[in-house]
Amino acid sequence: MRRWFGNLAFAALVLALTPSIVLGPELGNAEPSPLKIYVSLEQRHLWVVASNADTLRSAPVAVGRGNVISYAGRTWRFKTPTGVRTVIAKDADPVWIPPDWFYIEVAQEYGLAVRALPASGIVRLRDGTGLTIRDNVAGVIGADSVFRELPMEEHLVFDGALFVPPLGATNRRVKGELGQYRLDLGDGFYLHGTPHRSTVGRAATHGCLRLHDDDIEWLYEHVPVGTRVYIY
């Protein structure tokens, strides 16, 4: 693993963290972090700086790509917000819950309609089968009345439409998309890993900041909750 240590005193900042979510204290009681993170959107780069101004880590990041999608009167602009944020939580092996825009973007890419799959009830399809949610899992019910689960890794595409699983459905939980670690900056913005390694250093995200595996692991292990993040 690549490391940048300004002095031996930094070793005292290393946190022994379990591979589960680490929540920060209430803002009024938070201890100030000795570290600061700076992110240049133009350079697509991140620096972790100690209180003595030593640079402890330097890493490329993927940033928001700036495109816009619209659907049914709603508009989403995928850019990384500038300003000052705070690491409010961090977790290992994060699971991504895709927002509605993810399904709309996929549907537009493949020329599909968008339909919501309700959490209860049955949607009748043209072939006579029924699409439904049972025990938080999407599946189809055939003429034999047997419920058959649908593959978790596939979109729910039937009759020329992409069905959006309800929140809480297992089909709306995507493992691995955020890499091994995530630092939560609030409002749905994260510093996180990615399986799409070639995108790091490019304008390629929907607003989050993606890093290579070794860099996000270093941040997870060394950056305390409460650390300020300056994005410019």
19 versus 123: the higher-pLDDT residue is 123
pLDDT at 181 over 90: yes
- DSSP tag of 44: T
What is the value of pTM for the model shown?
A: 0.80
Cα dist. 50→4, 20, 33, 47, 169 in Å?
11, 25, 9, 10, 42
CATH among 1.10.10.10, 3.40.50.620, 3.10.310.30, 2.40.440.10 for 19-94+180-231 = 2.40.440.10
Spell out the domain ranges in the chain. 19-94+180-231, 100-172
Is 3's pLDDT higher than 50? Answer: no
Residue 175: per-residue pLDDT: 92
Q: Is 190 helix (H, G, I), strand (E, B) or coil?
A: strand
Residues 86-104, mean pLDDT to the nearest whole number? 96
Instruction: Please say if the pLDDT value at position 26 is more than 60.
Output: no
* Confidence label for 33 from pLDDT (cuts 50, 70 and 90): confident
Nearest to 136 by CA among 123, 117, 161: 117
pLDDT tens column, 143-172: 999 999 999 989 999 999 999 999 999 999
Statement: residue 230 has pLDDT above 50: yes
> For the ranges 16-20, 117-121, 198-202, 206-210, which has the lowest average pLDDT?
16-20
C-alpha pair distances (Å), 191 with each of 7, 35, 78, 110, 223: 25, 16, 15, 29, 12
